[in-house]
Amino acid sequence: MDFPLTWDDSYAIARELIARHPDTNLDRVSLGMIYSWTVELPTFEDDRELANDAILTAIFQEWFEEVNSL
């Protein structure tokens, strides 16, 4: 069952982005792309205005760590 995603759910958002963009080269991903892709997720239900660089960077870091795990 899908649950509503908010900006606090950086790990869950990263997992969704990995599933939707599996072959993405993270060296080419900007915070703007992460923002756009996140707000387009069907289960994303938070206020878009609350996004900031720290939140978007946290999502990026979760994504990076997930695809580059030891």
| Three-state DSSP string of 33-55 | HHHHHHHCCCCECCCHHHCCHHH
The pLDDT confidence band at residue 70, using thresholds 50, 70 and 90, is: low
Phi and psi torsions of 44, nearest 5°: -80, 125
Query: What pLDDT was estimated at residue 2?
Result: 75
**Rounded Cα–Cα distance for residues 70 and 65 (Å):** 9
* Domain boundaries of the chain, sorted by first residue: 10-67
* pTM for the model: 0.93
In the predicted structure, residue 24 carries a pLDDT above the cut 80: yes
* Predicted local distance difference test score (pLDDT) of residue 59: 99
CATH architecture of 10-67: Orthogonal Bundle (1.10)
* pLDDT at site 52: 98
